[in-house]
Amino acid sequence: MEPLDGNAIAGLLFEAFGAEMTTAVGVCARCRARAPAAELRVYLRGPGAVGRCRSCGAILIVISQIRGVACVDLNGFASLESPSGEVAASGGAPG
Ligand SMILES: [Zn+2]
């Protein structure tokens, strides 16, 4: 499947965070690559989407739609800073 970019999930991110997140800068927990969400490699699957690191391919973000609500798992990010400078995610669950 051909990957899309982070703009493909802009709507889902907006729904989940209530803010424009494609310019939010995330740091990959695996390779420490730093890139805006718009540069994620996005694979749409089923009702949700998976965003992978452009550098190492690690899964950084998983968005699933449960009963019409976007649920976002950001565990692949070491951190994710929204454009306003607010930290949306920091670390993940241990392990
Ligand atoms: Zn990476």
**Structure token digits, residue 1:** 């499947």
Per-residue model confidence (pLDDT) at position 94? 47
- The one-letter code for the residue type at 35 is A
- Mean pLDDT over 69-94 rounds to 76
**Is residue 30 within 8 Å of residue 58, measured between CB atoms?**
yes
Q: Is the pLDDT of residue 6 over 90?
A: yes
Name the residue ranges covered by the structural domains of the chain. 4-85
As a whole number of angstroms, the distance between CA 58 and CA 47 comes to 21
**Is residue 35 within 8 Å of residue 23, measured between CB atoms?**
no
Which residues place a Cβ less than 5 A from the ion ligand 1?
28, 30-31, 33, 53, 55-56, 58
Q: Ligand 1 centre from 67 Cα, in Å?
A: 31
Q: What is the pTM of this model?
A: 0.83
Backbone φ and ψ of 17, nearest 5°: -105, -15
As a whole number of angstroms, the distance between CA 20 and CA 13 comes to 7
pLDDT, tens digit (0-9, with 9 covering 90-100), for 13-46: 998 888 899 999 999 999 999 999 999 999 997 7
Average pLDDT value for the chain = 87
Per-residue model confidence (pLDDT) at position 95? 44
> What value, to the nearest 5°, has the Cα angle with vertex 78 and ends 87 and 95?
125
